Amino acid sequence: MGGMRAWPFLVLGALLVVGGIVAPGAPPAFAQGEAAPRRETHLGAGSCAASACHGDTKPKANEYTTWIQHDEHSEAYLHLTRGDGPKIAKRLGLSQPAREAPECLSCHAAAPQLYDHGDRYDMRWGVSCEICHGGSTQWLGPHAAPGWKEKSWGHKTALGMRDLSTPEQRVALCAGCHVGGQGNRTVDHDLIAAGHPPLFFDASAFMALKEPQWVHWTDETDLTQRTWFLGQVANLVAYLGRIERSAEDEKRWPDYAVFDCYSCHHDLDKDGHYATTEAVGPIGRPPFDAAFTSVLGRALAEMKPAAAQGLQTLGESLSAAYRNRDRAAVRESAASGASQARQFATAVESLDQAAASRILAWFDEHLDATEGLDHRIPRHEALQIAWAIHALVPNRQAQGFRAAYDELADSLSADGDYDPGVFAKKARAAIAAGR
Ligand code: HEC
Ligand code: HEC
Ligand code: HEC
Ligand code: HEC
């Protein structure tokens, strides 16, 4: 089998270093993962654009301006109409062009199968305000009136506004498209083979690492280790949801994209995969994609060992279901695994700088051994480790951290050049620089 093509990834190169601390606070309930979107009517970004509303250039009044100028969500539909979008749909042999296909609109726009539209709705708005904040037919007027800010979330959600006031709610929203969710929000191996980027989520990469002036949602609470950890949980919960849905649908079964890509996409010569790596699990069966489990598992091991054991057991029961080629058992195991995984969020209370430093120390040691063994850390896992380093180092302002992190990012930026040994060295240098 030939080598992998380049996968588009988040550009890690040009990232601002942003300060972060561990935020104290009570643990609110973890949002129920990626619930199916509510059937609601969207009026469109045009209703938010007035300069007296969100179309100004001043902070706290510039959300529309930021979104239309810098936020890629406002381009999401346009990517279905030009460039790779139409090609992907064609290669898949979809019966409609990408800009009309439910398989694509589900995440790239206010898909008609999920939302109703007001008279002046324009699909080109892509991932626009109401997809994240809730259909505004009932709250558009009231929210502009005096006293709205003081109203309770109970009041606001009754009018259809979505409560995004906790990191739990925010990360579940993002993972519902950036990993997948109900309502046709699925990027499986067919889409990936047709050219779609593989999806996985990390809150520090998607919320905190973005240039803060390019997105309007990042505030201090998103830059914390707490949000990073909750993002890892949301990543796992949405991944289990993806496995569950793949097992519900015979046509999507089995979805190769839930497994470690390299377990199939490797050279089979004598210097290939198993000659240089230790097989994980039963030989000849692909392991799960470590981008969803490995960093979270390590964090839990240092924070709440019983939960790490729970994750291990969950993985074993899921593996067993796959080994037996038992679709119903895979579905059940993924569904009960997702409820269990939501509970991992409570471990966030054990995440202090001491725990963060233990996680980093483990990476430091493990990556060292890794270099020696020439174990091939899959690239997705390597990205998750890099993002974790960014979130967990005690001192991002330390002299040299920025430069070391940029080098780490560079080692992951071009797929063709990805070298696990170089990655390991750069990762250890970044950990040392952030001490
Ligand atoms: C589960 C949600 C989801 C579905 C379904 C989905 N996409 Fe995407 N798509 C995304 C996300 C999220 C990204 C951004 C990935 C990243 O950069 O991390 C993306 C990126 C892309 C890109 C790259 C855009 C760029 O910036 O270069 C193209 C092209 C694209 N999608 C086309 C499609 C097409 C065509 C379909 C339907 C066949 C589709 N997508 C279905 C979520 C989805
Ligand atoms: C991809 C999801 C997403 C999209 C699209 C989006 N937002 Fe947001 N928005 C958020 C998140 C997350 C927050 C942070 C929530 C919080 O801090 O309570 C936020 C915060 C806000 C806030 C600040 C709320 C406050 O109390 O400070 C405003 C105002 C806002 N968005 C308006 C808009 C407008 C107008 C648009 C469209 C032009 C838009 N948003 C599009 C996710 C989104
Ligand atoms: C309705 C689905 C949807 C939701 C919800 C959503 N996104 Fe996205 N997001 C997308 C799509 C689709 C793209 C790709 C846009 C493009 O380039 O075409 C994207 C792109 C992005 C990018 C740019 C990726 C890159 O490669 O640079 C970031 C960052 C991002 N989203 C963060 C978030 C965060 C943070 C949240 C939660 C607050 C969120 N998104 C919620 C669908 C979604
Ligand atoms: C169970 C085995 C298996 C796994 C796991 C797997 N693939 Fe594939 N993949 C295949 C096969 C088989 C093909 C089709 C062969 C071909 O087109 O050469 C393919 C084709 C592709 C292609 C298009 C052909 C090419 O070489 O460009 C891409 C891209 C791709 N896979 C990416 C991925 C990614 C990313 C992952 C992990 C998220 C993954 N694959 C996981 C078996 C697998």
Block means of pLDDT (10 residues each) for the chain, 435 residues, are 26 25 37 69 95 91 93 96 96 97 97 95 97 96 95 96 93 95 94 95 81 75 84 96 94 91 73 55 79 95 95 93 93 96 95 96 85 67 93 92 93 77 93 95
Q: Quote the CA–CA distance of 47 and 117 in Å, as a whole number.
A: 13
Q: Quote the CA–CA distance of 368 and 366 in Å, as a whole number.
A: 5
Q: Say how many Å lie between the CA of residue 5 and the centre of ligand 4.
A: 10
Q: Residue 90: CB within 6 Å of ligand 4?
A: no
Are 412 and 423 in contact by the 8 Å Cβ rule? The answer is: yes
Are 76 and 127 in contact by the 8 Å Cβ rule? The answer is: yes
Candidate from 261, 263, 283, 323 with most ligand 4 atoms within 8 A of CB, to mutate? 261
- Looking at residue 263, its pLDDT comes to 80
CA dihedral 95, 100, 101, 103 (to 10 degrees): 170
Cα distances from 55 to residues 59, 241, 306, in angstroms, run 10, 37, 49
| Structure-block tokens of residue 42 | 């969207």
Q: Quote the CA–CA distance of 422 and 410 in Å, as a whole number.
A: 10
* Cβ atoms within 10 Å, residue 32: 13
Q: Residue 88: CB within 6 Å of ligand 1?
A: yes
Identity at 15, one-letter amino acid code: L
Q: Residue 210: CB within 6 Å of ligand 1?
A: no
- Looking at residue 8, its pLDDT comes to 25
Candidate from 95, 187, 202, 387 with most ligand 1 atoms within 8 A of CB, to mutate? 187
Q: Whose CA is nearest to atom 19 of ligand 1?
A: 197
Q: Quote the CA–CA distance of 262 and 379 in Å, as a whole number.
A: 9
- Looking at residue 218, its pLDDT comes to 73
Please give the distance of CA 346 from its chain centroid, rounded to a whole number: 19
CA angle 111, 114, 118 (to 5 degrees): 75
Please give the distance of CA 151 from its chain centroid, rounded to a whole number: 31
Q: Residue 127: CB within 6 Å of ligand 2?
A: yes
Q: Say how many Å lie between the CA of residue 306 and the centre of ligand 3.
A: 33
Q: Whose CA is nearest to atom 31 of ligand 4?
A: 193
| Structure-block tokens of residue 108 | 């790239």
Are 242 and 258 in contact by the 8 Å Cβ rule? The answer is: yes
Q: Residue 10: CB within 6 Å of ligand 3?
A: yes
Closest of 107, 135, 112, 111 to residue 43, by C-alpha: 135
Q: Say how many Å lie between the CA of residue 357 and the centre of ligand 3.
A: 30
Q: Say how many Å lie between the CA of residue 133 and the centre of ligand 2.
A: 7
In a 13 Å sphere around the CA of 375, the CA atoms on its Cβ side amount to 15
Q: Residue 285: CB within 6 Å of ligand 4?
A: no
Q: Say how many Å lie between the CA of residue 166 and the centre of ligand 2.
A: 13
- Looking at residue 60, its pLDDT comes to 86
Are 35 and 241 in contact by the 8 Å Cβ rule? The answer is: no
Name the one residue in this structure whose structure tokens are 């060992």.
305
- Looking at residue 421, its pLDDT comes to 86
